[in-house]
A and B are shown apart, each in its own frame.
Chain A
């Protein structure tokens, strides 16, 4: 039974529950709703929630767990080596899906699909006609596995439908039984809603847990296959899919930090001066136009910056600087990516610094003017020192943004991992290699794919550390004037 139908059935039961609960409550009060504990709609809502919430939670949990359990059962049947198992399972799943699709499209009858024989029919050709492309030929073993997979999936779907709908009916019956004029329906509904609210706010925590767990598990797998010393201190990055790769973090980290450095070299002075001008000099008219216009830069998707780097800035830098100076012939370079990223970061630095500079109390400025300082002297010697911790925080946030940025470096920095000082050479970053190692057909048991998770965890740790540091500095600063 497709989940969508189960969902519809549960919702229908819920709607029925609402009507019945409400009617029953009114009936129990003999039509005089003043004697009810709660408003009639709360009795209805109570029945609705009882019929839908537990059932839907069970359904979501079931859908999450089911694929793993079925794969485990089928894998136990395959008796394959653990390394080949994942690959076989994905083949098998594709085959099962192809068969289902062929049945749905009417190319095969359900009975014929069950009685297929890998020895006599060319299943691959058969399914290809229906639009399902299989990577390998079908062996009797995978076919048997796929058939087992299909029966398990079908019976699991039926079981899920039965469990979920009966749970929904059970909840409905229970709620209706409780429905009486003295039942505190509003309190019950409010407790349930509060529980749902708490559940919703814990999703943020669950996401973080999910991020950490998914990366830690794979990273540990990676370190079982590849020594951690070579990863953290390796100075070469040469992945080879036939094995014997050198997967050193240092060249990637160097590229990342070099590009971040150039980006900050652009963004910090421009952003800071822009913030000072907007906060201290600009009139309200100019400010009301220029501030949002600069913030538009922060709203532009990074792919647009990437395109700009690839199509315009990269070739320009190569033709007018790198090639005449004999520094390089590559359009993708640290300089390209760094400059473009710097433009992207201007609003991050400027709007945060602007807020912080505006938050410096006017009394400090007035005192400085009173002593005869000019406006720029006041800014340099009074306002900036007072705002410094906040500005440092803003710069750290910008740096963290730069380190985690992906599309600009994918399109502007190149893919060659090298440790070099020449900014007109192509270098690569942690994020580029995560994309590189995980896109396309990857075998998730090889160190070449798993290294992406270790890179991801490194990236996550660095950016998280920078963010926490930045927020800490910004918060401490803010408290001073409040």
Chain B
């Protein structure tokens, strides 16, 4: 016989089972926390990498716009002055900087004229040239001009470049950084919020400090416009038919299976479709928002159809019965009563579909949206056919550049993208909270 045991003391087998229970539970909690941790890590690293893109370093120095050099013909006619390229403006800036530094008594140890020029962004001469060409009256005046600092100098003030890393860097020397610090102490260099990042256009691979998201944001906006205009009516119409009118037969079965499968087709396949049909067959231009919009429309349709059907199904049959009972036709009951009641759900589904479309990258690569685009597209409808970029593609584009400063830009662009997505999803959640009705 087994010895008598107290009921209050667990036997070894029960203890083992309880331990297994606790272990299992801890594993489950661990998995949830791992998932949450991954989310935090993902967003955290992007935030850490990208926050710098929203701040930019500028330097302000007095520059004399020497008319003899910028307008050798002396006509003050912008057409003649355009003969002086940015190479004519660059030495002017370098001289002005050198002179100003001497006046202010800032030490320039180990800095040659070439090193001095590297403190100013290569974009600065172009900006000043554009300003002078627009307003030739500025010539021969001395102006306090603000210009972009070079990418490495910018990186130094954001902590991306340090004196140690500069020793291994061919593009910047520690002496330049020391000088930049001295200039900052003298109030010539400041780092502040970077509007140009949101409004400017892309810049070439040597000028990360000048690269902005303007064209990409506009391109994404145009595409969302196309998606909204096409996918919302078509998706709602398809859903209304399938949910309210379609007879149960083979054809509707085929359509339904089709829609649920389309939702799971890899996005890159839609890119191939867009390339083959819209560009190669229909002859639409590459890189155009209209093509991107069409491809994204096809991708968004299943989302909107599925959301709309769910919203229609949530409207109780009594509404339809009441409308029919008062003499409305089937069509009138749907369009006058059911559809308005389903509108919040449809809207929510549409916003979520748009948010998905906004973040989609792969199909846009295939229809040529990776091209380097500096010019803003025109206003719609013509602008829909102009080359443009898109936010997620711009992120990809910047990660492909050699200069590490573009990583900061790419992460910054990702933050803009995530900010837009969060806003859209919050709007969807708010709509749902505000208008959701339960019968």
Contacts and interface: CB of A to CB of B under 8 A. Distances in A.
B42 interface: yes
B62 interface: no
Contact of B272 (A308, A347, A453): A453
Interface string B61-91: 0000000000000000000000000000000
Interface in A189-203: 190, 193-194, 196-203
Most buried by A among B35, B45, B362, B425: B35
B29 interface: yes
A207 B21 contact: no
A293 interface: yes
Contacts of B264: 397, 400-401, 463-464, 467
B234 interface: yes
Interface in B326-376: 329-331, 355-356, 358-362, 365-366, 368, 370
Interface in B28-62: 28-32, 34-36, 38-39, 42, 45-46, 49
Interface string A263-280: 000000111111011101
Contacts of A222: none
A397 B261 CA distance: 11
A237 interface: no
Interface stretch (B197-205, B207-215, B411-419): B411-419
Interface of B is mostly: helix
A295 B21 CA distance: 27
A204 B258 contact: yes
B242 A300 contact: no
B25 A277 contact: yes
Nearest to A293: B36
Contact of B362 (A211, A377, A431): A431
Nearest to A453: B272
B362 A407 contact: yes
Contacts of B240: 197
B421 interface: yes
Given A67-B281, A274-B35, A277-B31, 20 more contacts: A67-B282, A68-B283, A197-B241, A200-B235, A200-B238, A204-B262, A214-B277, A215-B272, A271-B31, A273-B30, A277-B25, A299-B355, A301-B360, A301-B361, A311-B399, A374-B18, A405-B266, A410-B362, A435-B365, A459-B268
Contacts of A467: 261, 264
A202 B20 CA distance: 54
Given A201-B242, A208-B262, A459-B266, A193 B331 contact: yes
A377 B329 contact: no
A207 B298 contact: yes
26 contacts: A64-B282, A67-B282, A197-B237, A200-B235, A201-B246, A205-B255, A211-B273, A214-B273, A271-B31, A274-B34, A277-B29, A294-B36, A300-B42, A300-B359, A301-B421, A302-B359, A303-B392, A303-B417, A307-B395, A307-B399, A308-B46, A343-B42, A410-B396, A435-B362, A435-B365, A456-B272
Nearest to A277: B28
B254 interface: yes
A91 interface: no
B375 to A, nearest CB: 9
Interface in B223-260: 233-235, 237-242, 245-246, 254-255, 258-260
B302 interface: yes
Contacts of A350: 35
A400 B260 CA distance: 14
A477 interface: no
B414 A307 contact: yes
A468 interface: yes
A71 B280 CA distance: 12
B407 A459 contact: no
B238 A203 contact: yes
A476 B230 CA distance: 35
A365 interface: no
A328 interface: no
B276 interface: yes
B32 A274 contact: yes
A193 B245 CA distance: 11
Nearest to A209: B258
